[in-house]
Each structure stands twice: as C-alpha cells, then as structure tokens.
Homo-oligomer: A and B are copies of this chain.
Amino acid sequence: MQKTSYGQQSTRRILLVDDHSLLRAGMRALLDDMAGIAVIGESGDGLEALEFIRRDPPDAVLLDVSLPGMNGLEVARYLSQHYPDVRILILSMHSGAEYVARALNAGAQGYLLKDSAFDELAEALKALFAGREYLCAAIDRDVVERFLATGSDAISAAEVLTPRQRQILQLIAEGRGPREIADRLNVSVKTVEAHRAQLMDRLGIHNVPGLVRFAIRIGLVNTES
C-alpha cells in the first residue's frame, strides 16, 4: 500500500456502472443523499467504464455483473490488476455461492444483492473505505469460503461436486426419486439421501426445485430431457 490513506477523508468519489439507466439514476439519487459520497460519473458499459477510470480514477466502483460488451467480473479483474486502490463493490441479483466466489476471485471487495436493504449499501461502502471486505448479510460465508478454497474460477461451479454427487444431482434433476436412484446405483436409499444432503450443503441450495434449476444452469440436464 502506498498513499492508500483510508482514514477520514472529505468525500469519496464513486463511479456507477450498470446497464440499466433507470437503476443508475435511482442509485445516484440514493448515494447523493449520503454524506461524504459523491457520484462522479456513470456508465452502462464495461469498456466505457474502464475509459472513464483511466481518465479519472474514482475511489470506488459500484459494478453490476451483467454488462454488455465486457461483463462486470472482467472489469473487476482488470481494475484489481491495474487500479488496486479502486474499491470494487459488486451489485448482483444472484446470491448463489458460485457467483459470490467468482466475484471475489475477480478482485471485488464487496458483494451486494439488488434486493439488499438500503442500509447495507451504506454499510458496504463504509466497510470498503475502511479497507475491509463486505458481503451482503443474506450470503452464507462458509459456503463461499469453500468455493474460494477449491479455487473454482470459471463455469466450474459444478467442479466443487464429486463425480458421485454430480451423478446423483443429474438423476434428481431428471425426476428420479431416491428409490429409483438407489436401485439404479445399487446402494441404499439412505446413501442417496446422504449424497443429496451433502451436495445441497455444498451448493447452498436446500430444496429440490433449486437443484433442478442449478443442474439446468450448468448444463447437466436440459429442460426437455
């Protein structure tokens, strides 16, 4: 750290990056009412945001994940590489551990959900400017830790699962019940249930429909099948 003086400071300069102009306007209205915060610009596009930062580096960037051209995670990766002093607060709709882990891996210091409480936004900014990380309260840190530990990076959200667990997951998503799965794999129903419980823990998903949606997302099954 060099001049990273995160002590008390006049005003923190923030850049808004989100592809929804209305949402940007809303966030700007919120932040403008916050003491010690100044929104110095906004962008609806990742590349444009990078240009802006090159011209005039802000203290923090409020970054949406889904952006046209260059998505938020790529932007974060670039920033943490070339502008390590710029704090990165990710704004996402997804609470899944794999998303959070990916964001942190990309260099974000904070992760907020779009349906976080307003107070959390202020909280997150305060934490970031104090040099701390901030994860939205609705997120299970332990599960995220496990994702980070295994170094899951790309699409490999499913990489954290063992082959056996993936197999069970697929069978569940295909609509097979525990009885049928047990017979097919020549194991006890109890074993199948144990696998299901373990992979649920690991993914942070605790109901069958959630598993099905996850399995579809990672391409383990499709909606026809």
Interface residues of A (CB under 8 A from B): 19-23, 25-30, 33, 44, 91, 93-94, 96, 112-118, 121, 172-175, 177, 207-214, 216-217, 221-225
CB distance from A7 to the nearest CB of B (A): 28
Q: A174-B209, A213-B224 are in contact. List 4 more A-B contacts (CB 8 A).
A: A25-B118, A93-B224, A213-B222, A217-B224
CA distance A28 to B25 in the complex (A): 11
A33 partner residues in chain B, CB cutoff 8 A: 29
CA distance A167 to B202 in the complex (A): 30
A212 and B214 contact, CB distance less than 8 A:
no
CA distance A114 to B214 in the complex (A): 26
A30 and B25 contact, CB distance less than 8 A:
yes
A175 and B210 contact, CB distance less than 8 A:
yes
CB distance from A106 to the nearest CB of B (A): 19
CB distance from A67 to the nearest CB of B (A): 11
B173 and A23 contact, CB distance less than 8 A:
no
A207 and B177 contact, CB distance less than 8 A:
yes
CA distance A26 to B173 in the complex (A): 31
A23 partner residues in chain B, CB cutoff 8 A: 23, 26, 114-115
CA distance A211 to B209 in the complex (A): 9
